[in-house]
A and B are shown apart, each in its own frame.
Chain A
Amino acid sequence: MKIPKTSKLTNIFGLGLRSPHYSYLELQPATSAGWFEVISENYFQTRGRPRQILETLRADYPISCHGVSLSIASYEDFDWAYLHDLKKFYNEIEPFIVSDHLCFTGLQNNNTHNLLPVAYTQENLNHLSERIDKVQNFLGRTLAFENLSAYFNYQASTMTEWDFIAELTKKTDCNLLLDLNNIFVNSYNHQFDSDDFLNAIPFERVKELHLAGFRERDGFYFDTHSNPLYPELVELYKKVLKIKKNIPTLYEWDEDIPSFEILENQIKTLMNL
């Protein structure tokens, strides 16, 4: 089936398509969003309301397809049924960016629905490189991989996260989705300087940014996507703007989701930086 589509990116700031906003977006209002991001897996089976709204939006906005279940860092075989669904979905939607996370999410028949980090070692670098090549060849697309919020590091790691990511981009032709909130949360919880992270990243490979609000609990930061942007995040974003401008940037809000208008106001704030 042919879906009407636009490839015109009216501005670099995008918003996630989330169910509390369906009723509003069904009215096809003019919005401040330049594009929308969808969670790919949520659309594989549905032919109901979520899919209809996505197809309606696709006529007016470019779409980014973001995944949460690729489990690229798994040591089990790929879930090929999943990959076939993903490829079909990409072909139908024709997204301008496709992405997932640098993590594993579980075992076959036991998806934790969590994004788990791997040790930053040469062995894992080789393993991930092979898997990325394999999946990109199958999908016929270059994926952007997102850095995680990780609540532990491995003793076995022989390199930093940022060096691992930089090395990965040398060994493969994958792109990066840089989540600034994750960098900030990790830098606080694991006590490193976020500048070290930014300085190591090959920005020519960064095709998308994520910004979100975190939550503090018992002296730790948690990547909850549940608050407005903190000033520290805005500062980090300004640093990125000095390195590279015009990177498509998603403003994420996934818990206690507010009205669409509040999200648009956050975008307008970012536009004025």
Chain B
Amino acid sequence: MDQKTFNQKIVNLIRTPNSVDQVEIVSQFRLGSKLSPHNALGVYQEDYQARLTEALKNTYRAIHFIIGDDDFFHLASDYIKIYSSNFSNLDNYGNHLSFFLTTHPLSDEYIILPELANFEWLYREVFHLKQDEGLDGEALKNLLTIDQAFVKMVNSTRVLNYNYMISDLFNLKDKTHSDEEAQLDFDKPQHLLMSKNGTQVKTYILTINQWIIIQKFVTGCNIQDIFNTTLTAITPDEIQSLFQILGGERLLLQY
């Protein structure tokens, strides 16, 4: 067998073990090593599973925490069967997990999983972004006095909307009290703003009114429109706390 054919066959065999190709591949191995040919191939097959599983575990720490080792291992194994890695950096593996979970049986038991996976992937995405610096509180205050001042969110933010309390579920992995998960009533919608804070990622829980306003900033708008066109129900406190976040964290740019 030439090297090119061997390469194709062994790579496929590492990803998807099958006895027919395995016999053909190990027949190419020289005898005399301490490892038998089948054991030698097994090292690569096990290592492949282990590395990809570890990569998923590193990104999806909250899911791992919530479903535990056994279920996470089975989930990873199912995912790895469907998705190979086409990344040079193994840390990038796992980008389809949220979508994959929408039809995975584990999501019948844990309905929060697709949304939690989406949150964890975005968290990872924001973690690796450069922090953009927008306008500070004072500059924002000045803009509010101008008729035509167009602003939008800086790039290192994500505005999120979930059916469950995903931010609280995400934080469970860092809690020390084992009974907190049982006490958490996660079956409520949650509106979130995720942003860079130095080298870390910070998440803010928003009211629905704040979330509606922030959505406008994502695409960009005249800052005055916020007050002219929307939300008669929004309270001064909601506006004040939102602008404290936007100014304090410098999350708006003028354009």
B-binding residues in A (CB < 8 A): 26, 41-42, 44-50, 52, 68-69, 73-75, 79, 82, 85, 104, 106-114, 116, 118-119, 121, 123-124, 127, 151-157, 188-191, 219-220, 222
Contacts and interface: CB of A to CB of B under 8 A. Distances in A.
Interface centre among B3, B35, B40, B87 (most CB of A within 10 A): B3
Contacts of B171: none
B40 A151 contact: yes
Interface residues of B, number: 44
B8 to A, nearest CB: 6
Contacts of B11: 106-107, 110, 112, 116
Given A73-B3, A220-B34, 4 more contacts: A42-B89, A46-B128, A110-B84, A152-B29
Interface of B: 1, 3-4, 6-8, 10-12, 14-15, 28-30, 32-35, 37, 39-41, 43-44, 47-48, 51-52, 84-92, 127-130, 196, 199-200
Contacts of B86: 108-111
A69 B88 contact: yes
Contact residues of B: prevailing secondary structure:
helix
Given A124-B3, A151-B35, A190-B32, A112 B15 contact: yes
A110 B1 CA distance: 21
B199 A189 contact: no
A107 B7 CA distance: 8
10 contacts: A107-B12, A110-B12, A112-B14, A112-B48, A113-B48, A113-B90, A116-B7, A155-B28, A156-B28, A189-B33
B34 A190 contact: yes
A66 to B, nearest CB: 13
B29 A154 contact: yes
Given A41-B88, A154-B28, A47 B129 contact: yes
Given A109-B84, A114-B47, A152-B33, A75 B7 contact: yes
Contacts of B52: 113
Contact of A191 (B10, B33, B51, B90): B33
List the 9 closest A-B pairs by CB distance, nearest first. A49-B199, A47-B130, A75-B4, A69-B88, A152-B40, A46-B128, A109-B86, A41-B89, A110-B84
Most chain A CB within a 10 A radius of its CB, from B32, B89, B91: B89
Contacts of B29: 152-155
Contacts of B88: 41, 44, 68-69, 79, 82, 85, 111
